[in-house]
Amino acid sequence: MKQHLVATALSVSLGTAPAFADDRKHLLATPPVTAQDMISVSPALAKYTDNTVIGDLWKRPGLTPRDRSVITVAALIARNQTVEFAHYFNLALDNGVKPSELSEIITHLAFYSGWANATAAVAVAKDVFAARGIGPDQLPEASPSLLALDEQKDAPRRSTVEQTVAPTSPGVAQFTNDLLFKDVWLRPGLAPRDRSLITVTSLIANGQVAQVTYHLNRAMDNGLEAAEASEMLTQVAFYAGWPNVFSALPVVKDVIEKRPS
């Protein structure tokens, strides 16, 4: 993790300027909050940000800074928290999330948290990309060769949708089976494990516990380890609040315990 970038918007000790020049502030939903801003309202929040969030949480060994960035960006987009988009998009890129991956995260979450969540992310990401000289050559194709679908493994899911969703809403069933699972999930620009990680994160960050069982199992099928799931909860507690994590905990516990070891 490049420490200087984390410091830019958050560090109390440095208190340096925000990433965006003053005359571009109006392009953001809310202007970046500097360390000095935070101190002028809550010295305690500045302390917790510096000592606990930056100084402890982000340095814990259970997840790489790159994965923490993936989780944090997903939580913020899923909750439409535009005030922090610029800072955490930049931090994600510094932490090794590729521009193509950030692009795919935004696209994927259009389906899992709502189209306007993705649009709001685009409104900020375009400036972040432009400021870093990230051009079309670094973005995923609109229609790339897709990953192969394991039809046999996908059959039970598909069948469940056809039996439980289609009779009530044929449209939802069709888009779920033909668009989401035969197209979006198979895009190669983001590893299936990461796609699952942002899906689970968005569910927990929005209190949507009902779908966590399916998607956390899928995440672990896709390579997410139990210790990473555990630490993901710690990261989400800070960025989506304790209550969402406490509501998800029994479900996560249940999934992990029932996995074949």
Residues 72-111, interacting with a second copy (CB under 8 A): 75-76, 79-84, 103-104, 106-107, 110-111
> Is 258 exposed, middle or buried, given 0-12, 13-18 or 19+ CB atoms closer than 10 A?
exposed
Does the protein bind a second copy through residue 155 (CB under 8 A)? no
What is the closest distance, in whole angstroms, from the C-beta atom of residue 3 to a second copy in the complex? 18
Does the protein bind a second copy through residue 213 (CB under 8 A)? no
CA distance 231 to 229: 5
Binding residue (CB under 8 A) for a second copy from 149, 207, 213, 225: 207
What residues from 115 to 134 belong to the interface with a second copy (CB under 8 A)?
A: 115-126, 129-130
What is the closest distance, in whole angstroms, from the C-beta atom of residue 163 to a second copy in the complex? 11
Read off φ and ψ for residue 226, nearest 5 degrees.
Answer: -60, -40
CA distance 175 to 48: 44
- Closest to a second copy by CB, 170 or 223: 170
x-or-dash string of contact with a second copy, 10-29, rule CB under 8 A: ---------------xxxxx
Taking CB atoms within 8 Å and a gap of at least 24, the contacts of 56-59 are 57/234, 57/235, 57/238, 58/1, 58/6, 59/1
How many residues lie near a second copy (CB under 8 A)? 104
Does the protein bind a second copy through residue 31 (CB under 8 A)? yes
Secondary element (H or E) of residue 61: none
